[in-house]
């Protein structure tokens, strides 16, 4: 089942921006002895909890993980690479790792894409991203 995220959180029904819902997270900073540094601990909202494990569609920009032209595992960012989370200009709620269905390789592009897949939320493991999209399919806009 694909959720209409705008209905779930009661915003303008015309909006299909999944990042609005995924952005409903707050963070507290806490010292992590394993990493010997302060880390951000997320507290996800009820709206995000409701869509954990469901199929969603999200638009964003591919951030490659390797130098290969095509990849089946990559990051998707709400923002272009120059302003993405990994460049220090956005929060962790604006990026997710994507694993393509059947390990399909996707050609890296700077254009915005739409990805559909099963959302997994990770509020506990600081060594991994907050969001993962599995069994994903990609659509160019």
Give the domain CATH number at 126. Answer: 2.40.50
- Distance separating alpha carbons of residues 61 and 4, to the nearest angstrom: 21
Cα–Cα distance measured from residue 108 to residue 44, given in angstroms and rounded to the nearest whole number: 30
Average pLDDT for the chain = 84
Say if residue 97's pLDDT is above 50. yes
Rounded to the nearest 5 percent, the helix, strand and coil shares of the chain are: 20, 45, 40
Domains: count for the chain: 1
Q: Phi, psi (5° rounding) for residue 103?
A: 55, 30
Q: Full-prediction pTM beyond 0.75? A: yes
Query: Could you tell me the residue range of the domain that residue 72 belongs to?
Result: 5-140
Confidence label for 35 from pLDDT (cuts 50, 70 and 90): confident
* Among 20, 3, 94, 12, residue whose Cα is nearest residue 56: 3
């Amino acid at each position: 089942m694909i959720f209409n995220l705008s209905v779930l959180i009661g915003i303008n029904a015309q909006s299909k921006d999944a990042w609005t819902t995924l952005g409903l997270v707050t963070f507290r900073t806490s010292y992590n002895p394993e990493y010997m540094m302060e880390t951000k601990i997320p507290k996800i909202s009820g709206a995000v909890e409701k869509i954990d494990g469901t199929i969603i569609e999200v638009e964003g920009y591919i951030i490659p993980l390797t130098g290969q032209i095509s990849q089946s595992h990559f990051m998707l960012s709400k923002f272009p690479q120059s302003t993405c989370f990994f460049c220090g200009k956005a929060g962790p709620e604006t990026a997710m790792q994507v694993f393509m269905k059947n390990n399909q390789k996707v050609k890296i592009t700077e254009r915005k894409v739409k990805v559909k897949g099963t959302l997994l939320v990770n509020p506990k493991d600081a060594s991994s991203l907050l969001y993962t999209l599995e069994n994903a399919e990609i659509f160019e806009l």
